[in-house]
Structure 1
Amino acid sequence: MNSQNISLPPPEGGFIRCAHLRGGNTLLAQARFDLDRYDDSLGVRWNLPFPPALQQAVKKRRAEYLVSRWLAREVMGQMGIAGFLLQNHSDRSPRWPDGLQASLSHTDGAVALAATRQPRCVGVDIESVMSLRTAEETAALLMSSDEKAQLRALRLPFSLAATLLFSLKESLYKALWPQLHQPMDFHQASLLEADIAAGRAVLALNQTFSTTFAAGTRLEAEFQLEADRVLTLLTHPVAGNKKPAEQRG
């Protein structure tokens, strides 16, 4: 993910530590926050009210909601949509402005958002690196034996490699959901290639979901590895395949 980033000045309060935006055909933004500096009054001060369903949510959930809505408003502002307040469809997927494809993800202390006006499906995912125990215990659910061998060959700690695979498949699922509205499990797509130096990966569908997304379809992604986090972004051309929104509230 080599990029030229521009800083997004964080709001007052010190809760959001930093934020930046990578330009291009697909905007990619990230924000980092300090949960210890969260305060419920920030939502009012930033004009980002909490919905009733979150009034009794745990502090971490409220904090992630506030950062994600702040970041969405900032990114939409960069795209000429002022004062945007992100809401959800009835299936809990984000409700983005018409003519725009976007994806949002959050993990401990970080939020990521990708958005484009191009006819491309987009999925972004940010994950805290799982423990080695979790990686070993979930391997059968997450990966095939061939994929496990691929991960072992990457010369990464297995916990980091497994988190990368998990995040890549999450990004793929998020990218395809608005197009298909079909659930997917981890074995319905496979990792074909992963270039650690270039931060690039290729996955393939193992099942036919539609004429556009048939078995064997290759989907390209990019990724960024940190000591404690993995960020993945998958985009793929799509034309006229998006299902109508009437079933989504």
Structure 2
Amino acid sequence: MHCSFDAANYSDALFKHYDINFPPQLTSIVSHRKAEYLAGRIAANHAMAALGMPPANISIGRHRSPVWPSGVAGAITHHRGQVYCMLAKQLVDSPSRLRPGIDYESFIPAQDLELLATSIVNPAELALITTHFQHPEQGLSVVFSAKESLFKALYPEVGRYFDFLDVNVSNINISRRELELSLLCNLTRHLQRGCSFKVYWQTIDNSVLTWILHCANNHDQIGQQA
């Protein structure tokens, strides 16, 4: 689900207007952050409705991650007046757990490529990006966003932060707009070094949207072109 919003039009009264709880964690933060939070919850409720589910109070969990109601798994991303919410129905008695991840970013400026690359990718990854993308800074943006999407998908299972350099780009398929990412370290008993994941991307103007739907029991993913 995608929505646009204008943070300049934000007011606290909009929480009541949209029947969304105002969490105490937002009390002391700046208004544009409140606008992002509210827009994300509005998008989430639209997505819940699209799945035939009632709206829900999606509170703030550890490391600011959304706390989803029983029966649904989701992820939210917002950037520069755009918000995306990815939801999937989750059967309560299913042995598998769906873990969506989604991220939206502006392209990294070409002049910042050298400055930022070393914190996002290793030299082999950068060489792979340069081989496959006509503009390496755009390729780096795709990889940056893809690693963010993977983090969001794995965080409920891992429960802690891990680094961009803990994940490696092992393959790039330009025609399918598909990245294969693999772990370079052990994150949990099930998420071990060498586990691989497919993340998909779409470019939108001067930005990139990436997403993954990870299945936590066997590490398969479901993806499709947008």
What TM bracket, shorter-length normalisation? 0.7 to 0.9
Cα distance, 1:53 vs. partner?
Answer: 3.2
Aligned in 2, Cα 1:36/1:205: closer, same or farther, shift over 3 Å?
A: same
**Residue-by-residue CA offset, 1:18-51 (whole Å, 9 max, x unaligned):** xxxxxxxxxxx22122334444433232222432
Distance in 1, matches of 2:125 and 2:3, equals 31
Distance in 2, matches of 1:75 and 1:85, equals 13
| Structure 2 residue corresponding to 1:157, chosen from 124, 129, 135 | 135
> What amino acid maps onto 1:158 in structure 2?
P
Distance in 2, matches of 1:160 and 1:240, equals 32
- Gap regions ≥5 residues in structure 1: 1-28, 242-249
Task: Give the TM-score, by structure 1 length.
Answer: 0.78
The residue aligned with 1:201 is 179
Asked whether the 8 Å contact 2:107–2:208 carries over to 1, the reply is yes
1:1-249 matches, within 5 Å, as: 29-118=1-90, 119-239=97-217
Aligned in 2, Cα 1:177/1:90: closer, same or farther, shift over 3 Å?
A: closer
Distance in 2, matches of 1:181 and 1:240, equals 18
Asked whether the 8 Å contact 1:103–1:123 carries over to 2, the reply is yes
Aligned in 2, Cα 1:134/1:85: closer, same or farther, shift over 3 Å?
A: farther
Cα distance, 1:219 vs. partner?
Answer: 0.3
Stretch of structure 1 that moved more, 32-41 or 205-214: 32-41
CA RMSD between the two structures: 2.1
Percent sequence identity is 27
Distance in 2, matches of 1:49 and 1:179, equals 27
Distance in 2, matches of 1:179 and 1:92, equals 15
Stretch of structure 1 that moved more, 92-101 or 48-57: 48-57
Count of residues paired in the alignment: 213
Distance in 1, matches of 2:148 and 2:112, equals 17
> What amino acid maps onto 1:89 in structure 2?
G
Distance in 1, matches of 2:134 and 2:58, equals 37
Cα distance, 1:235 vs. partner?
Answer: 2.0
Asked whether the 8 Å contact 1:72–1:85 carries over to 2, the reply is no
Task: Give the TM-score, by structure 2 length.
Answer: 0.85
Distance in 1, matches of 2:69 and 2:162, equals 25
Aligned in 2, Cα 1:51/1:182: closer, same or farther, shift over 3 Å?
A: closer
Stretch of structure 1 that moved more, 174-183 or 39-48: 39-48
- Gap regions ≥5 residues in structure 2: 91-96, 220-226
Asked whether the 8 Å contact 1:77–1:84 carries over to 2, the reply is no
Distance in 1, matches of 2:147 and 2:45, equals 27
Aligned in 2, Cα 1:193/1:67: closer, same or farther, shift over 3 Å?
A: same
Distance in 2, matches of 1:209 and 1:237, equals 16
